[in-house]
């Protein structure tokens, strides 16, 4: 498995783990509306992460094979985020709007933490070569 594929798998796994924890929180705490907002935003965040990773992979292949760059799908990710905020506003009794907005950045926080861990891991391996 390539480093990129391992990183993508790790990011998706940790984002899903966090979403399961949020879903459990929605079921067992009295703050259902807050957790449902986090869950709704988090699910769209997961979709946006998946879309970004797919587009980055296609972008890399296009550049290496054809030398021609493709779009990274920024407009689509922004549109899905706006759409989920509008859904939360429409169903205010079910979803806490601020939680939805916080949920939208969940996968990006996971991505940054994962990249930081990878960077520290790489620095440790480069500082102390095997042997």
Predicted confidence (pLDDT) per residue in 75-100, tens digit:
999 999 999 999 999 999 999 999 99
Contacts of 115 (CB under 8 A, 6+ apart): 7
Pull the structure tokens for residue 13: 């796994």
Considering only CA atoms, which of 105, 97, 80, 86 is closest in space to residue 33?
97
Predicted confidence (pLDDT) per residue in 27-45, tens digit:
999 999 999 999 999 999 9
pLDDT for the residue numbered 127 = 63
Residue 70 · residue 55 · CB < 8 Å: yes
pLDDT for the residue numbered 42 = 96
pLDDT for the residue numbered 40 = 97
Contacts of 43 (CB under 8 A, 6+ apart): 19, 103
pTM value > 0.75: yes
Pull the structure tokens for residue 130: 């095997």
Predicted confidence (pLDDT) per residue in 41-66, tens digit:
999 999 998 898 888 888 888 888 87
pLDDT band at 129 (very low <50, low <70, confident <90, very high): low
C-alpha to C-alpha distance for 99 and 2, rounded to whole angstroms: 35
Residue 81 · residue 48 · CB < 8 Å: yes
Considering just the CA atoms, what is the radius of gyration of the chain in Å? 18
106: Cα separation from own chain's centroid: 6
């Amino acid at each position: 498995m390539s480093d990129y594929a391992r990183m993508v798998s790790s990011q998706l796994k940790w984002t899903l783990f966090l979403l399961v924890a949020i879903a459990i929180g929605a079921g067992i705490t009295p703050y259902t509306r807050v957790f449902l907002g986090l869950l709704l935003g988090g699910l769209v965040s997961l979709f946006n992460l998946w879309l970004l990773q797919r587009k980055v992979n296609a972008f890399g292949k296009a550049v290496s094979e054809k030398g021609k760059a493709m779009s990274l799908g920024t407009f689509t990710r922004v549109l899905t985020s706006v759409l989920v905020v509008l859904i939360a506003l429409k169903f205010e009794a079910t979803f806490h709007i601020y939680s939805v907005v916080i949920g939208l950045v969940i996968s990006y926080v996971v991505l940054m933490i994962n990249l930081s861990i990878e960077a520290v891991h790489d620095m440790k391996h480069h500082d102390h070569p095997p042997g």
